[in-house]
Chain A
Amino acid sequence: MRILVCVKRVPAVGSRINVTDDGQQVDTAHLGFTTSPHEECAVEEAAQIVERLDGDDHAVVVLTLGPEASTEQLRYAASVGGNEFALVMAEGGLDWDPQRTAVAITSAVRELESAGGQFDLILFGNESADGGNFQVGIRVAHALGRPIVNGIKGIDPHERGFTARRETDAGYEVYELEAPCALGVKEGINLPRYPTMKGRLASRKAQIQVLDSAADADAGGQSRVRLHRPPERASTTVQLGDSAAAAPAVVNLLDELGVL
């Protein structure tokens, strides 16, 4: 079985997000980068599926579109179960519109498949952590003619395809997809592993294939004017105390709010 996972490099933001003076990007001068949680779980899920299978003709292929620095996210994936790695080189790609991103990823998938065979399953995150466009995976899957369901929090492989569970407020919905297919997964589907010693070694040795499939991808109809922070809710914090002796004041508050 071959599983492809698409991950995006995103800044690891803390208590607030700063924007560059030109309003075009998140200011990352003092920030590290990470993989979005949904996609980290997608890598873990792929690794778990493949590790349960007999034989050694299985692979977890991890793809990212972005600048060269995105190899950091591929190397991390190598340390937690990824086997093959592809960088779709696109200098400003982290800020691309979703149509353009999808076109470039679609042609990269075609290239990877013509060399290495069809992917039985392609995993995306439910949405990217930064852009949150909720569509790149669906566009790619549709262009490739594969069914896709988003919001997935459970996957069981079986002979012909995959049973997928989607969380709802009260429980979950069950979907049955035949391979080849695609799924958009959510954090919580599993608990991603931490890199082990062996994983770190694998990460250093990982061979990364660089693809230029982004070169012909034209900009889509959505175009950034600027990023900015929403107005913050002004608040003055009322201190109810600095020890357990604050309990009566807290209960008074609960009483006032009518939740007691």
Chain B
Amino acid sequence: MSAVAVLIDHDRGVPSSGALEALTAARALAADLDADLDAVILGDNDLFDAHGADLVAACADYGVAAVHRGRHSFLADYGPDAWGAALAGFVEAAGPVAFVAAGTDRGAEAMAQLAARTDLPLVANCVNVSPAGSPPEGQPGPANGDAWHITRIQWGGSLLEDVTLTSTLPLLTIAQHSIEAEPCEGDLIHTTVADFEPGLGPEVQQTLIRDRVTLTEGITLSTAPVVVSGGRGVGSADGFAPLEELAELLGGRVGCSRAVTNNGWRSHSDQVGQTGTRIAPEIYIACGISGAIQHWVGAMGSKNILAINIDPEANMVTKAGYAVIADLHEVVPAICDEIRRRRDRPSSS
């Protein structure tokens, strides 16, 4: 049976969360096409000995009919050339009807390598995919029987683009967080496992990971339950001290806008937005940030937003669920004081 194949991008055996979202999106696509859902996982013998069973079990949960394990000593760790070449070998041998991956760093890069090697088009960051036939509801334009109709994101999610895709093998990445990962319901199908050995030349070794450096342990900006961010309104690097204090009191992390990193007040690893980090905390506290669209796309995944700004018309204020219209230099210390006051006297509440 024909199959929609999905690359399971992983880091040393741990699949990315995007890979499970991609599986969920590809499962719907496979149903549309009346095709199987297959998975492709790349590694070496040691990796599959240690993580193979878990990876296959995860695929089974998502309704994968067959897991294709690409085994090679050059696939012991990640490398864009090694992954791209292995995928090119797979699509040539297996002939899937579509090939899908997550729009993660690795998913996007391996798919671009595959596209370059096969000279096929690659549609990046799809949010909606309709296989050949009539265009989906609400999408104008002539029906092109052979073309797929796809909606993808531009500007990091600020804009959508409807495109047609004409290709012998559609290559797609799925925009991260555009779909929730959902395992299959009901009885699981039997998942088969097959190994293939991609032919990899020594040249792919040049882009293998040589070394790793760990800098942060524990919560990161992208996983923090609370993010307290400052923008140009904070005024200086020192001005971040009360924000640091508030983040500390709430077990969160400090973020910032690009105006702040451009001024050298904080490191770029703290930047929220299109060219920074996408966050999804329980609450985002945005202090002195105007809410430009490139900042907003990084913050819009937050469950709640509190804007502290002197300008009631600021985009951040009008888009936020909660706002305090006042000077952040007065409000933030007052919030810290109030938290400490309640914690010091818990019985009085």
- Whether the Cβ atoms of B330 and A243 lie closer than 8 Å is yes
Using a Cβ–Cβ cut-off of 8 Å, how many residues does chain A contribute to the interface with B? 81
- Min distance, Cβ B34 to any Cβ of chain A, angstroms: 23
With beta carbons under 8 angstroms apart, the residue of B109, B215, B326 that contacts A242 is B326
Distance A258 CA – B281 CA, assembled complex (angstroms): 12
Distance A103 CA – B125 CA, assembled complex (angstroms): 21
Q: Note all chain B residues with C-beta closer than 8 A to A149.
A: 80, 109, 207
Residue of B261, B322, B339 ringed by the most chain A CB atoms within 10 A: B322
Distance A241 CA – B139 CA, assembled complex (angstroms): 44
Residue A117 CB within 8 A of the other chain? no
Q: Note all chain B residues with C-beta closer than 8 A to A129.
A: 155, 274-275
Distance A230 CA – B276 CA, assembled complex (angstroms): 21
Using a Cβ–Cβ cut-off of 8 Å, how many residues does chain B contribute to the interface with A? 106
Residue B293 CB within 8 A of the other chain? yes
Q: Which B123-181 residues have C-beta < 8 A from chain A?
A: 123-125, 135, 139-141, 147, 149, 153-167, 173
- Known: A134-B109, A242-B324. Contact between A98 and B214, CB under 8 A? no
With beta carbons under 8 angstroms apart, the residue of B11, B163, B294, B323 that contacts A240 is B323
Residue B51 CB within 8 A of the other chain? no
Distance A171 CA – B211 CA, assembled complex (angstroms): 11
Distance A174 CA – B223 CA, assembled complex (angstroms): 23
- Min distance, Cβ B19 to any Cβ of chain A, angstroms: 15
Q: Which B204-256 residues have C-beta < 8 A from chain A?
A: 206-217, 220, 222-223, 225-226, 250-252
- Whether the Cβ atoms of B116 and A221 lie closer than 8 Å is no
Q: Note all chain B residues with C-beta closer than 8 A to A244.
A: 326, 330-331, 333-334
Residue A49 CB within 8 A of the other chain? no
Distance A97 CA – B124 CA, assembled complex (angstroms): 11
- Whether the Cβ atoms of B331 and A259 lie closer than 8 Å is no
Distance A89 CA – B87 CA, assembled complex (angstroms): 35
Q: Note all chain B residues with C-beta closer than 8 A to A17.
A: 155, 158-159, 293
Looking at chain A's contact residues, the main secondary structure is mixed
- Whether the Cβ atoms of B213 and A172 lie closer than 8 Å is yes
- Whether the Cβ atoms of B268 and A187 lie closer than 8 Å is yes
- Whether the Cβ atoms of A15 and B159 lie closer than 8 Å is no
- Whether the Cβ atoms of B262 and A132 lie closer than 8 Å is no
- Min distance, Cβ B286 to any Cβ of chain A, angstroms: 12
- Whether the Cβ atoms of A260 and B339 lie closer than 8 Å is yes
- Whether the Cβ atoms of B217 and A170 lie closer than 8 Å is yes
- For B164, the closest partner residue in chain A by CB is A223
Interface membership of chain B positions 87-123, coded 1 if the CB is closer than 8 angstroms to chain A and 0 otherwise: 0000000000000000101001101110111011111
Residue B195 CB within 8 A of the other chain? no
- Whether the Cβ atoms of B141 and A226 lie closer than 8 Å is yes
Interface membership of chain A positions 219-243, coded 1 if the CB is closer than 8 angstroms to chain B and 0 otherwise: 0111111111110010101111111
Distance A174 CA – B213 CA, assembled complex (angstroms): 8
Q: Note all chain B residues with C-beta closer than 8 A to A175.
A: 207-210
Residue A116 CB within 8 A of the other chain? no
- Whether the Cβ atoms of A135 and B122 lie closer than 8 Å is yes
- For B305, the closest partner residue in chain A by CB is A235
The stretch among B1-9, B36-44, B184-192, B313-321 that forms the contact with chain A is: B313-321
- Known: A132-B156, A244-B334, A250-B338. Contact between A151 and B105, CB under 8 A? yes
Residue of B80, B161, B214, B322 ringed by the most chain A CB atoms within 10 A: B161
Distance A100 CA – B300 CA, assembled complex (angstroms): 33
Residue A169 CB within 8 A of the other chain? yes
- Whether the Cβ atoms of A186 and B275 lie closer than 8 Å is yes
- Min distance, Cβ B329 to any Cβ of chain A, angstroms: 9
- Min distance, Cβ B214 to any Cβ of chain A, angstroms: 4
- Whether the Cβ atoms of A15 and B320 lie closer than 8 Å is no
- Known: A17-B293, A222-B121, A244-B331. Contact between A237 and B321, CB under 8 A? yes
Q: Note all chain A residues with C-beta closer than 8 A to B268.
A: 187-188
* Residues of A bordering B, CB below 8 Å: 13-17, 19, 26, 36-38, 97-99, 129-135, 138-139, 141-143, 147-151, 165-178, 186-188, 191, 220-230, 233, 235, 237-248, 250-251, 253-254, 257-260
* A-B contact sample (8 more), CB < 8 A, given A141-B116, A223-B164: A139-B112, A147-B81, A174-B209, A223-B165, A241-B325, A243-B331, A246-B324, A247-B334
- 9 residue pairs of the A-B complex, CB under 8 angstroms, read A134-B109, A138-B109, A172-B215, A188-B269, A221-B121, A222-B122, A253-B283, A257-B282, A259-B251
